[in-house]
Structure 1
Amino acid sequence: GITYHQVAAAQKLLRTLKLPPKTLKKPVKVLILVGMPGGGFLVANAHSYLGDLVKRAGGEVVGGDGNQPLTTPNPQAIAQENPAVVIRLAHAMPTQVKQSFDQIFQQAPYAHLKATQSGQIHDVSAPDFGMTANLQVVTAYRDIQQWLAVAQ
Structure 2
Amino acid sequence: MKSPRRTALIVLIGLLIVGILGGLFASQQTFKKRHQERIVATTYAVVQIADRLKLPLVGVPNTANKMPARYRNVTKVGSPMNPSAEKIASVKPTAVYSVTTLKDQFGKSFKQQHIKPYFLKLQSVSDLQQVVTKMGHQYDRQKEARSANHEINQAITTAKQRAKGRQRPRVLVLMGLPGAGYMIATNHAYVGNLVTLAGGQNVFPSKDQEYIQPSDEAIQKAHPQVILRLEHAMPEMVTAQFNSEFKSQSFWHQTPAVQSKRVYDLQEPDFDATANMHAAKALGEVSQWLYPGSR
TM-score normalised to structure 1 length: 0.92
Contact 2:228 2:264 in 1 (8 A): yes
Number of residue equivalences: 152
C-alpha separation between the residues in 1 aligned to 2:293 and 2:192? 17
2:229 pairs with one of 88, 108, 121: 88
Once the two structures are superposed, residues 35-66 of structure 1 have per-residue CA deviations (whole angstroms, 9 ceiling, x without a partner) of 01114100001111111110111100113654
Once the two structures are superposed, residues 66-125 of structure 1 have per-residue CA deviations (whole angstroms, 9 ceiling, x without a partner) of 441101111111111111110000131101101110111121321221111111110111
Contact 2:232 2:266 in 1 (8 A): no
C-alpha separation between the residues in 1 aligned to 2:209 and 2:274? 15
Residue equivalent to 1:144? 286
Where do 5+ consecutive residues of structure 1 fail to align? Answer: none
Higher mean displacement: 31-40 or 58-67: 58-67
Q: Secondary structure at the match of 1:115?
A: helix
2:145 pairs with one of 3, 6, 10: 10
Larger Rg: 2
Amino acid at match of 1:94: P
- Larger RCO of the pair (alpha carbons < 8 Å, separation 6+): 1
Higher mean displacement: 142-151 or 88-97: 142-151
**TM-aligned CA distance change 1:71 to 1:151, over 3 Å:** farther
The percent of aligned pairs where both chains have the same amino acid is 34
RMSD after superposition: 1.8
C-alpha separation between the residues in 2 aligned to 1:118 and 1:39? 27
Residue 126 of structure 1: how far off its partner (Å): 1.1
Q: Secondary structure at the match of 2:238?
A: helix
Q: Secondary structure at the match of 1:92?
A: coil
Higher mean displacement: 12-21 or 109-118: 12-21
Higher mean displacement: 10-19 or 119-128: 10-19
More helix by share: 2
2:251 pairs with one of 109, 112, 119: 109
Residue equivalent to 1:70? 211
Where do 5+ consecutive residues of structure 2 fail to align? Answer: 1-135
C-alpha separation between the residues in 1 aligned to 2:206 and 2:264? 21
Spell out the pairing of 1:26-45 with structure 2 (5 A cutoff): 26-45=167-186
Q: Secondary structure at the match of 1:46?
A: coil
Residue 24 of structure 1: how far off its partner (Å): 4.8
Contact 1:32 1:51 in 2 (8 A): yes
Contact 1:86 1:121 in 2 (8 A): yes
Amino acid at match of 1:26: Q
Runs of 4+ more than 6 Å apart: none
